[in-house]
């Protein structure tokens, strides 16, 4: 990585270098979303994995995992059969991702490097699928999306899973009382890991992406499943009852979707 980093990028890099130095044991790979034994269309992460799996079955072979973190998602995509390229601003993330791939015998199908998402060092149109899971709220959104679409082949898809502001809920979330019980400032807590500069996407961010890529599809999740933070243990892997409730209600009352605090954006390149 030869480009000059901004202050924000440097802070993100330092944070995740420290995080993965402390919590290497949390780089656990859960293959349940791709094994086909069950489907969870109500869960945004499973939704992304299912979409990638469908692309692979349709002939896609090269996938970019932008903001790959500790490499657990890259290992899932490689297990599907993809040749996976992972990029992250943190050298310790890249080191961890390489080790995770090696531990699972996936080194021959994975390639990781330290890169900034806002200026990727890949040729134009070289990936069939680009995936960014929980990355846009850590970066400059528009430049990152433009770069991801630049390296995507015609006919390819970019999939982003993100947190998104919902004013009706976030006004309550940001009150002093809520922040006392659920702090949202910088934290290296292994389940929260909140950086100094991260922020949820908002309606303006999504509108800016849609203005650049008008065919973008937007799917919302987590209306009442926000309560899972109170009802479920951190790291719980069983299916969420509240996510199922959201799915059932939103199918019958589509207007509820706008209250979803998680979004999957699907961008297709003509």
7-162+186-219+263-268, CATH topology level: Rossmann fold (3.40.50)
Identify any residues that bridge with 228 across adjacent strands, giving them in sequence order.
Answer: none
* Mean pLDDT, rounded, for 87-94: 97
| Mean model confidence pLDDT for the chain | 93
Q: How many other CB atoms sit within 10 Å of the CB of residue 54?
A: 11
Question: Model confidence over 200-228: pLDDT tens digits?
Answer: 999 999 999 999 999 999 999 999 998 88
The fraction of the chain above a pLDDT of 70, given in percent, is 97
Domain-by-domain residue ranges, the chain? 7-162+186-219+263-268
CB 138 within 8 A of CB 163: no
Question: Model confidence over 148-184: pLDDT tens digits?
Answer: 999 999 999 999 999 999 887 777 777 776 676 677 7
Question: Model confidence over 6-21: pLDDT tens digits?
Answer: 999 999 999 999 999 9
Mean pLDDT lowest for which of 66-80, 120-134, 238-252? 238-252
pLDDT (0 to 100) of residue 169? 76
Paired tokens of 254: 């589509």
Rounded-to-integer distance, Cα 93 and Cα 165, Å: 27
Q: How many other CB atoms sit within 10 Å of the CB of residue 182?
A: 11
pLDDT (0 to 100) of residue 1? 62
Q: Above 80 in pLDDT, residue 142?
A: yes
Identify any residues that bridge with 63 across adjacent strands, giving them in sequence order.
Answer: 84, 129
For residue 195, give the DSSP letter: -
């Amino acid at each position: 990585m030869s480009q000059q980093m901004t202050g924000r990028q440097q802070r993100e890099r330092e944070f995740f270098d420290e995080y993965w130095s402390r919590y290497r044991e949390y780089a656990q790979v859960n293959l349940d979303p791709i094994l086909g034994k069950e489907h969870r269309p109500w869960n945004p992460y499973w939704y992304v994995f299912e979409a990638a799996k469908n692309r692979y079955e349709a002939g896609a072979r090269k996938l970019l995992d932008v903001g790959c973190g500790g490499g657990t998602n890259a290992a899932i995509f490689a297990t599907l059969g993809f040749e996976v390229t992972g990029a992250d601003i943190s050298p310790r993330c890249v080191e961890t991702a390489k080790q995770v791939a090696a531990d699972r015998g996936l080194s021959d199908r994975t390639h990781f490097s330290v890169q900034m998402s806002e200026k990727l060092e890949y040729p134009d149109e070289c990936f069939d699928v680009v995936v960014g899971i929980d990355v846009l709220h850590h970066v400059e959104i528009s430049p990152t999306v433009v770069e991801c679409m630049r390296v995507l082949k015609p006919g390819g898809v970019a999939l982003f899973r993100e947190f998104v502001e919902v004013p009706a809920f976030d006004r309550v979330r940001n009150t002093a009382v809520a922040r006392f019980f659920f702090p949202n400032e910088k934290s290296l807590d292994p389940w929260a890991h909140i950086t100094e500069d991260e922020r949820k996407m908002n309606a303006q961010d999504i509108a800016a992406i849609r203005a650049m890529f008008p065919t973008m599809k937007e799917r919302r999740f987590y209306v009442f499943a926000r309560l899972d933070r109170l009802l479920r243990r951190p790291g719980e892997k069983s299916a969420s009852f509240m996510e199922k409730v959201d799915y059932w209600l939103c199918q019958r009352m589509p207007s509820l979707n706008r209250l979803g605090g998680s979004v999957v954006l699907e961008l297709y390149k003509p």
